[in-house]
Protein backbone atom coordinates (compact mmCIF):
# COMPACT_ATOMS: atom_id res chain seq x y z
CA UNK A 1 0.00 0.00 0.00
CA UNK A 2 1.26 3.46 -0.93
CA UNK A 3 0.89 6.06 1.81
CA UNK A 4 -0.15 9.55 0.70
CA UNK A 5 1.46 12.50 2.51
CA UNK A 6 -0.66 15.66 2.36
CA UNK A 7 1.74 17.92 4.26
CA UNK A 8 4.91 17.61 6.29
CA UNK A 9 7.04 19.60 8.71
CA UNK A 10 10.64 18.52 9.18
CA UNK A 11 12.65 18.78 12.38
CA UNK A 12 16.15 17.25 12.68
CA UNK A 13 15.10 15.30 15.77
CA UNK A 14 12.89 13.20 13.45
CA UNK A 15 16.03 11.60 12.05
CA UNK A 16 16.34 9.78 15.41
CA UNK A 17 19.90 8.47 14.99
CA UNK A 18 19.79 6.60 18.29
CA UNK A 19 16.78 4.53 17.23
CA UNK A 20 18.13 3.45 13.86
CA UNK A 21 18.91 -0.14 12.90
CA UNK A 22 22.27 -1.35 11.62
CA UNK A 23 22.43 -1.33 7.84
CA UNK A 24 22.07 0.93 4.82
CA UNK A 25 19.00 2.73 3.49
CA UNK A 26 18.63 4.36 0.08
CA UNK A 27 16.09 7.14 -0.39
CA UNK A 28 14.65 8.25 -3.72
CA UNK A 29 12.65 11.32 -4.79
CA UNK A 30 10.95 10.75 -8.10
CA UNK A 31 9.06 12.88 -10.58
CA UNK A 32 8.20 11.20 -13.88
CA UNK A 33 11.01 8.69 -13.61
CA UNK A 34 9.39 5.85 -15.54
CA UNK A 35 12.14 5.59 -18.17
CA UNK A 36 14.75 4.01 -15.89
CA UNK A 37 13.07 3.71 -12.49
CA UNK A 38 12.77 -0.07 -12.64
CA UNK A 39 16.37 -0.40 -13.84
CA UNK A 40 17.54 1.70 -10.90
CA UNK A 41 15.63 -0.27 -8.29
CA UNK A 42 16.44 -3.72 -9.67
CA UNK A 43 20.17 -3.02 -10.02
CA UNK A 44 20.44 -1.53 -6.51
CA UNK A 45 17.95 -3.37 -4.32
CA UNK A 46 20.23 -6.28 -3.39
CA UNK A 47 22.81 -3.91 -1.90
CA UNK A 48 20.49 -2.09 0.49
CA UNK A 49 18.51 -3.07 3.55
CA UNK A 50 15.67 -0.91 2.23
CA UNK A 51 14.83 1.59 -0.47
CA UNK A 52 12.45 4.42 0.44
CA UNK A 53 10.87 5.73 -2.77
CA UNK A 54 8.89 8.99 -2.63
CA UNK A 55 7.15 10.32 -5.74
CA UNK A 56 5.66 13.72 -6.50
CA UNK A 57 3.68 15.25 -9.40
CA UNK A 58 3.96 12.20 -11.64
CA UNK A 59 2.00 12.05 -14.89
CA UNK A 60 3.75 8.97 -16.27
CA UNK A 61 3.81 5.32 -15.14
CA UNK A 62 5.97 5.97 -12.05
CA UNK A 63 3.21 5.19 -9.46
CA UNK A 64 2.28 1.94 -11.25
CA UNK A 65 5.90 0.82 -11.50
CA UNK A 66 6.48 1.51 -7.81
CA UNK A 67 3.29 -0.29 -6.79
CA UNK A 68 4.25 -3.37 -8.81
CA UNK A 69 7.82 -3.46 -7.46
CA UNK A 70 6.66 -2.84 -3.88
CA UNK A 71 4.36 -5.87 -4.18
CA UNK A 72 7.36 -7.91 -5.37
CA UNK A 73 9.97 -6.70 -2.89
CA UNK A 74 7.74 -6.24 0.14
CA UNK A 75 9.13 -4.17 3.05
CA UNK A 76 12.46 -3.77 1.29
CA UNK A 77 10.81 -1.17 -0.96
CA UNK A 78 8.63 1.33 0.89
CA UNK A 79 6.69 3.83 -1.24
CA UNK A 80 5.15 7.21 -0.40
CA UNK A 81 3.19 9.71 -2.47
CA UNK A 82 4.25 13.20 -1.41
CA UNK A 83 1.23 15.27 -2.44
CA UNK A 84 2.26 18.97 -2.06
CA UNK A 85 3.34 20.67 -5.27
CA UNK A 86 7.14 20.93 -5.07
CA UNK A 87 8.87 23.78 -6.89
CA UNK A 88 11.69 22.62 -9.17
CA UNK A 89 15.21 23.78 -8.47
CA UNK A 90 16.21 26.68 -10.70
CA UNK A 91 12.75 28.24 -10.48
CA UNK A 92 11.64 31.43 -8.79
CA UNK A 93 9.28 29.27 -6.76
CA UNK A 94 12.22 27.38 -5.29
CA UNK A 95 14.28 30.51 -4.74
CA UNK A 96 11.49 32.33 -2.89
CA UNK A 97 10.00 29.43 -0.91
CA UNK A 98 11.49 28.84 2.56
CA UNK A 99 13.15 25.48 2.95
CA UNK A 100 10.76 24.48 5.72
CA UNK A 101 7.69 24.86 3.53
CA UNK A 102 6.06 21.60 2.35
CA UNK A 103 6.33 22.94 -1.23
CA UNK A 104 10.09 23.31 -0.98
CA UNK A 105 12.21 20.57 -2.45
CA UNK A 106 14.23 20.83 0.77
CA UNK A 107 11.32 19.55 2.87
CA UNK A 108 10.54 16.93 0.22
CA UNK A 109 14.10 15.59 0.41
CA UNK A 110 14.13 15.71 4.21
CA UNK A 111 10.88 13.77 4.33
CA UNK A 112 12.41 11.00 2.23
CA UNK A 113 15.51 10.91 4.43
CA UNK A 114 13.45 10.90 7.64
CA UNK A 115 11.49 7.85 6.44
CA UNK A 116 14.67 5.74 6.31
CA UNK A 117 15.26 3.40 9.24
CA UNK A 118 18.92 2.38 9.08
CA UNK A 119 22.07 3.94 10.48
CA UNK A 120 23.60 4.71 7.09
CA UNK A 121 21.81 6.38 4.19
CA UNK A 122 22.41 7.44 0.61
CA UNK A 123 20.45 9.44 -1.93
CA UNK A 124 19.58 7.42 -5.03
CA UNK A 125 18.23 8.96 -8.23
CA UNK A 126 15.83 7.26 -10.63
CA UNK A 127 18.37 7.27 -13.47
CA UNK A 128 21.27 5.42 -11.86
CA UNK A 129 22.30 2.11 -13.40
CA UNK A 130 24.34 0.36 -10.72
CA UNK A 131 27.91 -0.85 -11.05
CA UNK A 132 27.27 -3.77 -8.69
CA UNK A 133 30.82 -4.81 -7.78
CA UNK A 134 31.87 -1.31 -6.73
CA UNK A 135 28.61 -0.68 -4.88
CA UNK A 136 28.86 -4.01 -3.04
CA UNK A 137 32.37 -3.16 -1.86
CA UNK A 138 31.04 0.05 -0.29
CA UNK A 139 27.99 -1.45 1.42
CA UNK A 140 30.09 -4.40 2.53
CA UNK A 141 32.59 -2.07 4.19
CA UNK A 142 29.75 -0.31 6.02
CA UNK A 143 28.23 -3.54 7.30
CA UNK A 144 31.64 -4.82 8.39
CA UNK A 145 32.32 -1.62 10.34
CA UNK A 146 35.24 -0.61 8.09
CA UNK A 147 33.66 2.62 6.77
CA UNK A 148 34.65 5.84 8.49
CA UNK A 149 31.48 7.32 10.00
CA UNK A 150 33.12 10.76 10.13
CA UNK A 151 33.17 10.88 6.30
CA UNK A 152 30.73 11.48 3.48
CA UNK A 153 31.72 8.69 1.10
CA UNK A 154 31.12 10.42 -2.23
CA UNK A 155 30.74 8.57 -5.49
CA UNK A 156 30.21 9.35 -9.15
CA UNK A 157 29.05 7.95 -12.48
CA UNK A 158 29.83 8.67 -16.12
CA UNK A 159 27.07 10.57 -17.92
CA UNK A 160 25.70 8.94 -21.07
CA UNK A 161 23.98 10.28 -24.17
CA UNK A 162 23.56 9.13 -27.75
CA UNK A 163 25.66 10.72 -30.45
CA UNK A 164 24.42 11.73 -33.89
CA UNK A 165 24.71 8.11 -35.02
CA UNK A 166 22.74 6.77 -32.06
CA UNK A 167 25.75 5.30 -30.31
CA UNK A 168 26.29 5.65 -26.57
CA UNK A 169 28.86 8.30 -25.73
CA UNK A 170 30.05 10.69 -23.01
CA UNK A 171 28.96 14.37 -23.25
CA UNK A 172 31.98 16.68 -23.38
CA UNK A 173 30.02 19.49 -21.70
CA UNK A 174 29.15 17.33 -18.67
CA UNK A 175 31.05 14.04 -18.66
CA UNK A 176 30.64 13.09 -15.00
CA UNK A 177 27.82 13.10 -12.45
CA UNK A 178 28.69 13.52 -8.78
CA UNK A 179 31.13 16.12 -7.53
CA UNK A 180 30.72 15.77 -3.77
CA UNK A 181 26.94 16.19 -3.64
CA UNK A 182 26.03 12.53 -3.20
CA UNK A 183 27.46 9.92 -0.88
CA UNK A 184 26.96 7.39 1.89
CA UNK A 185 26.73 8.89 5.37
CA UNK A 186 26.00 7.92 8.96
CA UNK A 187 22.69 9.62 9.76
CA UNK A 188 22.82 12.27 12.48
CA UNK A 189 20.58 15.19 13.34
CA UNK A 190 22.95 17.56 11.55
CA UNK A 191 22.96 15.57 8.29
CA UNK A 192 20.00 16.89 6.33
CA UNK A 193 19.04 19.23 3.51
CA UNK A 194 18.89 23.02 3.73
CA UNK A 195 17.78 25.76 1.38
CA UNK A 196 20.08 27.38 -1.15
CA UNK A 197 18.56 29.81 -3.68
CA UNK A 198 19.99 27.64 -6.47
CA UNK A 199 19.00 24.18 -5.21
CA UNK A 200 18.69 22.00 -2.13
CA UNK A 201 22.03 21.67 -0.33
CA UNK A 202 23.11 18.78 1.84
CA UNK A 203 24.41 20.00 5.20
CA UNK A 204 27.13 17.50 6.07
CA UNK A 205 27.42 18.40 9.73
CA UNK A 206 31.21 18.40 9.57
CA UNK A 207 31.57 15.14 7.64
CA UNK A 208 34.70 15.21 5.49
CA UNK A 209 34.07 14.42 1.84
CA UNK A 210 36.05 11.45 0.53
CA UNK A 211 35.87 9.93 -2.94
CA UNK A 212 34.73 6.31 -2.67
CA UNK A 213 34.48 5.22 -6.31
CA UNK A 214 32.42 4.90 -9.48
CA UNK A 215 29.16 3.27 -8.46
CA UNK A 216 26.79 3.88 -11.38
CA UNK A 217 26.21 4.95 -14.97
CA UNK A 218 24.13 8.12 -15.13
CA UNK A 219 21.22 7.81 -17.58
CA UNK A 220 19.69 11.27 -17.08
CA UNK A 221 20.43 12.56 -20.58
CA UNK A 222 18.81 9.44 -22.09
CA UNK A 223 15.47 10.19 -20.42
CA UNK A 224 12.37 11.61 -22.06
CA UNK A 225 12.99 15.33 -22.51
CA UNK A 226 16.73 14.79 -22.30
CA UNK A 227 16.62 14.85 -18.51
CA UNK A 228 15.35 18.45 -18.33
CA UNK A 229 11.56 17.97 -18.36
CA UNK A 230 11.10 18.29 -14.60
CA UNK A 231 12.71 21.74 -14.43
CA UNK A 232 9.65 23.38 -16.07
CA UNK A 233 11.96 25.46 -18.25
CA UNK A 234 9.19 27.08 -20.32
CA UNK A 235 7.84 28.68 -17.15
CA UNK A 236 11.31 29.49 -15.82
CA UNK A 237 13.34 31.12 -18.61
CA UNK A 238 15.94 32.33 -16.12
CA UNK A 239 16.70 28.83 -14.87
CA UNK A 240 20.35 27.81 -14.73
CA UNK A 241 19.20 24.46 -16.14
CA UNK A 242 18.08 26.10 -19.38
CA UNK A 243 21.66 27.23 -19.91
CA UNK A 244 22.89 23.76 -19.04
CA UNK A 245 20.48 22.25 -21.58
CA UNK A 246 21.79 24.62 -24.25
CA UNK A 247 25.41 23.75 -23.45
CA UNK A 248 24.64 20.07 -23.63
CA UNK A 249 22.87 20.41 -26.99
CA UNK A 250 25.96 22.13 -28.40
CA UNK A 251 28.36 19.66 -26.80
CA UNK A 252 30.62 17.20 -28.55
CA UNK A 253 30.07 13.51 -27.82
CA UNK A 254 33.24 11.84 -26.57
CA UNK A 255 34.28 8.26 -27.04
CA UNK A 256 35.46 6.52 -23.89
CA UNK A 257 39.16 6.96 -24.81
CA UNK A 258 38.51 10.67 -25.43
CA UNK A 259 36.85 10.99 -22.04
CA UNK A 260 39.79 9.27 -20.36
CA UNK A 261 42.25 11.65 -21.97
CA UNK A 262 40.20 14.75 -21.13
CA UNK A 263 39.63 13.77 -17.50
CA UNK A 264 43.25 12.90 -16.71
CA UNK A 265 44.33 15.72 -14.34
CA UNK A 266 47.22 17.96 -15.31
CA UNK A 267 49.78 19.63 -13.09
CA UNK A 268 47.74 22.81 -12.50
CA UNK A 269 44.76 20.84 -11.20
CA UNK A 270 47.00 18.82 -8.94
CA UNK A 271 48.42 21.99 -7.45
CA UNK A 272 44.96 23.50 -6.90
CA UNK A 273 43.80 20.30 -5.23
CA UNK A 274 46.31 20.83 -2.45
CA UNK A 275 44.53 24.02 -1.41
CA UNK A 276 40.84 23.17 -1.78
CA UNK A 277 38.88 20.21 -0.41
CA UNK A 278 36.43 19.99 -3.31
CA UNK A 279 39.23 20.32 -5.86
CA UNK A 280 40.92 17.45 -4.08
CA UNK A 281 37.77 15.36 -4.25
CA UNK A 282 37.20 15.91 -7.97
CA UNK A 283 40.90 15.33 -8.63
CA UNK A 284 40.70 11.93 -6.93
CA UNK A 285 37.55 11.19 -8.93
CA UNK A 286 38.96 12.13 -12.33
CA UNK A 287 42.36 10.55 -11.66
CA UNK A 288 40.65 7.20 -11.06
CA UNK A 289 38.53 7.30 -14.23
CA UNK A 290 41.12 5.68 -16.50
CA UNK A 291 41.69 2.72 -14.15
CA UNK A 292 37.95 2.26 -13.62
CA UNK A 293 37.04 2.40 -17.32
CA UNK A 294 40.06 1.15 -19.35
CA UNK A 295 37.84 -0.27 -22.09
CA UNK A 296 37.84 0.46 -25.82
CA UNK A 297 34.31 1.84 -25.96
CA UNK A 298 31.25 2.61 -23.82
CA UNK A 299 29.38 -0.60 -24.67
CA UNK A 300 32.36 -2.76 -23.70
CA UNK A 301 32.64 -0.82 -20.43
CA UNK A 302 28.94 -1.38 -19.74
CA UNK A 303 29.30 -5.10 -20.47
CA UNK A 304 32.14 -5.29 -17.96
CA UNK A 305 30.67 -3.16 -15.18
CA UNK A 306 26.87 -3.33 -15.50
CA UNK A 307 25.88 -6.75 -16.89
CA UNK A 308 22.34 -6.79 -18.23
CA UNK A 309 22.41 -3.13 -19.25
CA UNK A 310 21.00 -3.88 -22.70
CA UNK A 311 17.68 -4.85 -21.15
CA UNK A 312 17.26 -1.29 -19.90
CA UNK A 313 18.93 0.76 -22.61
CA UNK A 314 18.13 -1.29 -25.68
CA UNK A 315 15.08 -3.32 -24.63
CA UNK A 316 16.82 -6.69 -24.95
CA UNK A 317 15.72 -9.55 -22.75
Residues 263-316 have pLDDT tens digits of 999 888 888 878 888 889 999 999 999 999 999 999 999 999 999 999 999 876
pLDDT of residue 316: 65
CA distance 253 to 90: 26
pTM of the model: 0.96
Overall average pLDDT of the 154-176 stretch: 97
213-264: per-residue pLDDT in tens? Answer: 999 999 999 999 999 999 999 999 999 999 999 999 999 999 999 999 999 9
Helices 62-73, 37-44: axis angle to 10 degrees equals 20
Total tally of structural domains belonging to the chain:
1
* Domain span at 25: 3-313
Nearest to 253 by CA among 230, 216, 221, 282: 221
Contact 152, 185 (CB under 8 A): yes
CATH number assigned to the domain comprising residue 54: 3.90.550
Share of the chain above pLDDT 70, in %: 99
- 3-class SS letters over 67-102: HHHHHHHHHHEEEEEECCCCCCCCCHHHHHCCCCCC
Amino acid sequence: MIERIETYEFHPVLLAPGARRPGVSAFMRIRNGADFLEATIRTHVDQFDEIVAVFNQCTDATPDILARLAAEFGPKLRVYHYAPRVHPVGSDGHRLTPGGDPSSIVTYYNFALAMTRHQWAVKLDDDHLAIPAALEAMTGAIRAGRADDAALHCFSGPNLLRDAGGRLAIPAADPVSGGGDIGFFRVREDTHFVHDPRFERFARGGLQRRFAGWFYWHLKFLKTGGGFANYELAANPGSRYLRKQERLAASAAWSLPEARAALTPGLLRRLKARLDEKQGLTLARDASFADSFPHDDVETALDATAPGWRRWLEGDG
